[in-house]
Structure 1
Amino acid sequence: MKITLIQPPTPSSKGRNKSSFNTLVRPFSLFYLAGYLEKHTSFDIEILDFELNKYHDVPVEDVLCSNDSQIFGITATTYTRFEAVKIAKKIKKLFPESWIVTGGVHFMHCAKDTLSRVPEIDIVVRGEGELTLLELAKAINAGADLETVMGISYRRNNEIIDNPDQMVFEGLDDIPTYTKFSYDEYPEYLMDYRKEKIPAISVVSSRGCPNKCIFCPKGGVRYRLRSPKFVVDEIEYYKKKFKIIEAVNFLDLTFTASPPHVTKVCHEIINRKLNIKWWCESRANIPLELLDLMKEAGCCQIAFGIESGSPKILEKISKNVPVENIFDVAKKCSDIGINSRVFFTCSHPDETKKDVKETLNLMAKLGEIGSNPTFGITMIFPGTEIEKIAYSKNILPEDFSWYDHYESDLNNKLETLSNIPLFIDKLTPDMLLRIKEEVVTMLIGNRIVNQKFTDLVKQVFKAIVAGNPSAKHIFNKKLIVRYIMSKLAPNRQ
């Protein structure tokens, strides 16, 4: 039996140029699934990543027309959901007898909505896919009843069936390092805001997240760790395979959730003398002494999800990190030479202008000590507490579907992802627009806009000197504001 796993393109994807600063991250979920299935079955597994340059401007039908798979597995985020549905419809038209299975952070949280609105999709995998897709593939291959497969939703006699949840996957070290890809296809670069682009590779050292932030579709899943040795074995493998690798991006949802685990990973890196730089994401509750070890092991940037400077809002959104901790951790990072990116959002439930002022004050203080602030508007994702609140406040109408066409002028004005609803509560759209412009003014005044903007100004100035008349229009105030606002939007999913 053959299985094809598919990554849809982002709505604005037009291919990525490997010579630019753009990074094309490997589709980790599909690589993990493929590696696990290949290890435990004799099935033929293929991956189609429509983000790759080679598929740009090539019709999906042309790519798939000779595919003889029995199962097509499609992953998606909420941002790519419509592209995933388009692909599912085209596959079903080409191969009506095939099984179309969807999963990933979007589909897993809205199985009923998906199956009731998209008839081309046969099955939705709820939760992580390794165990479930293995069971499902074996059942389909054997002609067995789907009721034996845990963790799926499907239709039977026009009724949507939700099988019991799959057990939590514990065997993270049982997933082999996936090697069937070329670095030329997935050029990955990281910037430390001071130097040129750095050739990098992404690695995951854990799954799940112990935190339950009300806006995040990925939280609340039991936190599990890969063994530190296995993690660094993978880094070392990629460093030897791709000779140019100089940095690692840890894609864990909260890399520092287990300080003992981080300590062991750091010691593995140091003891093996890998001499790499690395990035991670964290809450601002890291033990300060751990930061010293992380720096010694090569950590040069941490992204912190701060969200708000208001203690009231931090408690409301289940962030529960004291503002004092945030400043202390950022100051420590600055003192020892770790760049800190700090993510803020506004328009949380019951947030007022007073709360926003506290956020802007904290942003300014962090900017003054060298942090790089990023600012956006709270978005609504399926499966989150914020989604439930949005329904209760009629921010989302009762008959809302994630598969109805959605595009808002407000999203465009605020420079956020265009097809994801915003949580608009106490702060009106006009207030949010003024807040964003105030943020831009503050960042320019404090000279804490990131290096990308500085580089842009330099490029435009050179173009003007070279006699390019169109470059002068870049210095139009509105264009500058729009550019910076687009760079400030966190777009985290």
Structure 2
Amino acid sequence: MKTVLSTLNAKYIHTSLSIRYLKAYAAPLYDVELAEYTIKDPAMNVVTDLYTKKPDIVGFSCYIWNIEETIKIIKMLKKIDPTLIIVLGGPEVTYDTKEWMEKIPEVDFIIIGEGEQSFKHLLDELHGDQRFEQVSGIAYREGETIQIKAQRNKIDLKELPSPFRFEEDLPHLSKRVTYIETSRGCPFSCQFCLSSIEVGVRYFDREKVKEDIRFLMENGAKTIKFVDRTFNISRSYAMEMFQFLIDEHKPGTVFQFEITADIMRPEVIQFLNDNAPAGLFRFEIGVQSTNDATNELVMRKQNFSKLTRTVTMVKEGKKIDQHLDLIAGLPDEDYSSFRKTFNDVFELRPEELQLGFLKMLRGTGLRLRAQDHGYVYMDHSPYEILRNNVLSFEDMIKIKQVEDVLEKYWNDHRMDATIEYLVSTVFESPFDFFQQFGSFWEEKGWTRIGHQLEDLYKHLHEFLSTAKTEDVHIITGFMKYDYLRNQKHKPRKPWWSDSLNKQERSKLYHAILDNPMLLGEEFAQKNLSEKDLFKHTVVEKLPFNLFTYLSKGNVLKEDSIILVHYDPILSTTNVYPATSQDLNEKVG
């Protein structure tokens, strides 16, 4: 009986670790074929591809992001071939299993919880006497009756074979994210998270993990993401792995971790700041809320002052990018409280701030006690909340407006200097800027159309021009600075009207040619010709002293000149500031 294991990933660059573990554990007795798709692939295309593989058994790994599309595919496959055996597994169907079996009559089996042993045992019975009552951790049909067998004891992770040694995966390692786990389980009990249900933390064999990482790097893996819920729960283990990765990493490889920041000791961070190459590590930190009462209601232990210490030390080390997560909609977190949470976390200036919305996941304590907080949420995945007893649907809409512009204008780092000036100087708080801009964005209908880079600058400028904001000309100067320094090539037509006419620009260029030291020694050493200067640079006037801003961080409101050189050989962009007074003396 030919078996195919499949899943719909959120993006093409993602890979499924779960189906690879199942394939590895079933081998060598069963040769399982893998078939991955994305949630954006048309259902008919997926069905057609699976059908051409001529399977007898098809298994699907199910999550909140793919369950709806997976159901469509299952129903189509079963109509085409009623004899096809359909098996589901994954966190989305592990809970409310009977409901899933009733809801999708096309499904023959559901694997409950940790699946390696149960799936292999199920294959044994499908190929043998079909005594399904002997298989722990499955749901199956016995006539019109749905039978559910309790899960077996947790597997010894040290016995699991490697899921990374399949020949068909090797050509794709450099182009996709590779997921790896060194432990399963979580020591915490956050009631909105599925990981809180499993008690305790179990570890894989350390040396086997290291061998897998070596193998992945040798075969071209560039992005390796650890899916451990709390990578640093054991300080000695985390230190050992950090040291190993520092010692044996390949150039260009990035390792991502989910860490709990408030339990990370300063000496660990100092070790990373002193020894880790810049860009080798990336931290994902779930803050969720800074409201102590909210955290207590969801059984989440968090010391925000220690978390702040960790994030600040890491940021000051300039070695590791940090991605911080927030969840809107937690118990007793109203709009005002969430505004404070947002501002508390934004004050840390993470490289990314992910604003998510509470999802009432099946099996979690918060979903089981949803009525206690007046939760109203989607009946279908992703089960996102619509309102609760302190946060109205209107409030949710407003926070979603914040999320939209936060992603475009902060997380994508298109204009860091501009946003920093806005949130620290112009608006009452970072949240207020993103909220007001997000509401304006929604009113203009921009959420429903695509945007080029120039559009994003024009939209922000339009908002600032109508928001009765002071110093629009200063902000415009920052926007010009950000736009020019973030280009890879000389822009053909900037989004603003030229502040210098052709004659003024020509005089500036000739003044620079006569005395390159006006832009500093580094620029003078480039020894640019007149042709290079006109062809590969942009000169622009700013309404603040850029040299003072870059050297001291102060905004001195006097005109200055910026020259940006787009090096065609090195493919680099270099910014050279000078006060216009220096150049005007030469221009006359």
TM range (shorter): 0.7 to 0.9
Counterpart in the other structure of 1:360: 342
The amino acid across from 1:67 in the alignment is K
The amino acid across from 2:146 in the alignment is I
Deviation for aligned residue 1:470: 7.9
Q: Residue 472 and residue 282 in structure 1: after superposition, are their counterparts in 2 closer, same or farther (change >3 A)?
A: closer
Equivalent in 264, 268, 278 of residue 290 of structure 1: 268
* 1:46 counterpart = 2:37: no
Q: Deviations over 1:44-66 (max 9, x none)?
A: 2111112399x768623321334
Q: Residue 392 and residue 187 in structure 1: after superposition, are their counterparts in 2 closer, same or farther (change >3 A)?
A: farther
Q: Residue 57 and residue 151 in structure 1: after superposition, are their counterparts in 2 closer, same or farther (change >3 A)?
A: closer
Counterpart in the other structure of 2:241: 265
Equivalent in 63, 77, 100 of residue 114 of structure 1: 100
* 1:342 counterpart = 2:324: yes
* 1:424 counterpart = 2:387: yes
Preserved CA contact (<8 Å) 1:210 1:220? no
Q: Residue 7 and residue 479 in structure 1: after superposition, are their counterparts in 2 closer, same or farther (change >3 A)?
A: farther
SS in 2 for 1:69: coil
Q: Residue 451 and residue 186 in structure 1: after superposition, are their counterparts in 2 closer, same or farther (change >3 A)?
A: same
Q: Show structure 2 runs of 5+ residues with no match.
A: 419-450, 465-588
Greater alpha carbon shift after TM alignment, 60-69 vs 329-338: 60-69
Deviation for aligned residue 1:448: 8.2
Q: Residue 353 and residue 451 in structure 1: after superposition, are their counterparts in 2 closer, same or farther (change >3 A)?
A: closer
Deviation for aligned residue 1:110: 2.5
Preserved CA contact (<8 Å) 2:323 2:354? yes
Q: Distance in 2 between matches of 1:223 and 1:188?
A: 31
Q: Residue 172 and residue 113 in structure 1: after superposition, are their counterparts in 2 closer, same or farther (change >3 A)?
A: farther
Preserved CA contact (<8 Å) 2:179 2:225? yes
Q: Distance in 2 between matches of 1:471 and 1:175?
A: 47
Q: Deviations over 1:182-222 (max 9, x none)?
A: 45546546xxxxxxxxxx64322222222221111233324
TM alignment of 1:379-390, pairs within 5 A:
379-390=359-370
Q: Show structure 1 runs of 5+ residues with no match.
A: 17-23, 190-199, 407-418, 458-468, 482-493
The amino acid across from 1:283 in the alignment is T
Counterpart in the other structure of 1:476: 459
Preserved CA contact (<8 Å) 2:324 2:354? yes
Q: Residue 477 and residue 333 in structure 1: after superposition, are their counterparts in 2 closer, same or farther (change >3 A)?
A: same
Q: Deviations over 1:100-122 (max 9, x none)?
A: 11011111122111101110011
TM-score, length of structure 2 as denominator length = 0.65
SS in 1 for 2:167: coil
Q: Deviations over 1:413-471 (max 9, x none)?
A: xxxxxx53325211112223334556788x69xx981245449x9xxxxxxxxxxx987
Q: Distance in 1 between matches of 2:118 and 2:352?
A: 41
TM-score, length of structure 1 as denominator length = 0.76
Tell me the C-alpha RMSD between the 2 structures: 3.3
Equivalent in 165, 178, 181 of residue 178 of structure 1: 165
Deviation for aligned residue 1:258: 2.0
The amino acid across from 1:300 in the alignment is F
Deviation for aligned residue 1:81: 0.5
SS in 1 for 2:14: coil
* 1:219 counterpart = 2:196: yes
Which is richer in helix?
2
Q: Deviations over 1:283-324 (max 9, x none)?
A: 122122222344535553211000011111122222211111
The amino acid across from 1:225 in the alignment is Y
Equivalent in 262, 265, 278 of residue 255 of structure 2: 278
Q: Distance in 2 between matches of 1:156 and 1:6?
A: 25
Q: Distance in 1 between matches of 2:184 and 2:282?
A: 21
Deviation for aligned residue 1:7: 0.8
Q: Distance in 2 between matches of 1:64 and 1:274?
A: 36
Counterpart in the other structure of 2:55: 69
Query: How many residues matched?
Result: 421
Preserved CA contact (<8 Å) 2:60 2:89? yes
Preserved CA contact (<8 Å) 1:3 1:71? yes
Deviation for aligned residue 1:260: 2.0
Deviation for aligned residue 1:262: 1.2
Q: Deviations over 1:358-383 (max 9, x none)?
A: 3033123212xx55322122122111
* 1:450 counterpart = 2:411: yes
Counterpart in the other structure of 2:311: 330
Q: Residue 271 and residue 77 in structure 1: after superposition, are their counterparts in 2 closer, same or farther (change >3 A)?
A: same
Q: Residue 133 and residue 471 in structure 1: after superposition, are their counterparts in 2 closer, same or farther (change >3 A)?
A: closer
Preserved CA contact (<8 Å) 2:157 2:203? no
Q: Distance in 1 between matches of 2:86 and 2:227?
A: 28
Deviation for aligned residue 1:273: 6.1
Deviation for aligned residue 1:272: 4.0
Q: Distance in 1 between matches of 2:267 and 2:17?
A: 32
Counterpart in the other structure of 2:512: none
SS in 1 for 2:348: helix
Question: Identity percentage over the alignment?
Answer: 19
Q: Quick one: higher RCO (CA 8 Å, sep 6+), 1 or 2?
A: 1
